[in-house]
Amino acid sequence: MVYLTRKCEFSAAHYYHNPEFSPEENQRIFGKCNNPNGHGHNYTLEVTVKGAVNPRSGFVVDLKDLKDTLESEVLSALDHRFLNKEVPEFRDRIPTTENLAIVIWERLQPKMKVAQLHRVRVYETPDLFVDCYGEK
Amino acid sequence: MKAHLTRRYWFSASHRLHSDEMSAEENRATYGKCNNPYGHGHNYALEVTVSGPVDASTGMVCNLADLDGFVAREILSRYEHVNLNTLPEFTRRVPTTENLCTRIFEIVRRGFTQAHLEKVRIEETMMNSFEYAGGAEVRH
């Protein structure tokens, strides 16, 4: 079993707000992140896949295929978007880093044919990141 | 679905690696430059990883402000700009980063109850780092 990690970046805006909370609760729980006009981050995404090395190609997965999947399933949907307004999953989920990692896992996992998805890591800043291993 | 959240913090401290159970020669042989009697210092990077199911109403494993507040109060205020050898936990234990790592893990595990503590990782310098998961295998 060999693990392969591909890194990419995307930039997006978001804000945290739960319509079931009062304005005061939203402010208390989410603080500055509750500003309805949003704010943004340069996110770094690391996707780790694992699998046996194909003896003919020497690959766990063709990196070009992985890059294409990341582009079509993740980056085209998230890069330079306002997550709350433009990404369907975030109409009823708060676009925290936790949920971003989970949404990216859910988008990628069904597309993995050759290798197995091991971990999705999303850095919101260099000092804050979330890992998702697809555990229920 | 479950998520693992890691937050990174910084503190600077000095220490001297020296064991009273060893002779002067053995201390020098074991700890080398780190045995310098006047001590030396590092900029430590501390990573705290907590895990759990994501709360549907907040989208969070735990509130980051709570974790930051706890770490500032219980860890950073204790270790920032101090000589580690002067602290009670290091009067009888050598303040290696191994021992610092397990000590910080215990402080967070006992005091921070909003999420499950997965792991503590400390970079002593850019060249060496230490991880402790309470005795469990570290997950990567």
Domain that holds residue B8: 2-132
DSSP string, chain B: -EEEEEEEEEEEEEE----TTS-HHHHHHHHGGGG-TT-EEEEEEEEEEEEEEPPTTT--SS-HHHHHHHHIIIIIHHHTTSBGGGSGGGSSS---HHHHHHHHHHHHHHH--SSEEEEEEEEEETTEEEEE-TTSPPP-
B139: in domain: no
Residue A110 pLDDT grade (very low, low, confident, very high; cuts 50, 70, 90)? very high
Region A5-17 average pLDDT: 98
Give chain B positions within 8 Å (CB) of A119: 140
B140: in domain: no
B12: in domain: yes
The pLDDT score that the predictor gives to residue A20 is 97
**Cα gap B83→B63, rounded to integer Å:** 31
What is the chain B residue with the closest CA to A19? B57
State ipTM: 0.94
- Total number of domains in chain B: 1
**Cα gap B15→B35, rounded to integer Å:** 9
Of the residues B21, B25, B34, B137, which is catalytic?
B34
Is A131 in Cβ contact with B4 (below 8 Å)? yes
Mean pLDDT across chain A, nearest whole number?
A: 97
Of the residues A9, A25, A71, A80, which is catalytic?
A80
Question: How does strand B116-125 pair with strand B128-132?
Answer: antiparallel
The pLDDT score that the predictor gives to residue A2 is 97
Region B76-105 average pLDDT: 97
The region, left, alpha or beta by phi > 0 then psi within -120 to 50, assigned to residue A81 is: beta
B137: in domain: no
Q: Tell me, yes or no, if the pTM score tops 0.90.
A: yes
Q: Kindly state the percentage of chain B with pLDDT values over 90.
A: 99
**Cα gap A132→B7, rounded to integer Å:** 15
Nearest chain B CA: its distance from A56 CA (Å)? 28
The residue among A126, A105, A128, A125 whose CA lies nearest residue A117 is A105
CATH number for the domain that contains residue B56? 3.30.479.10
The pLDDT score that the predictor gives to residue A47 is 98
Region A113-130 average pLDDT: 97
What is the assigned CATH class of domain A2-132?
A: alpha beta
Is A135 in Cβ contact with B54 (below 8 Å)? no
The pLDDT score that the predictor gives to residue A52 is 97
**A110 burial level (CB within 10 Å; 0-12, 13-18, 19+):** exposed
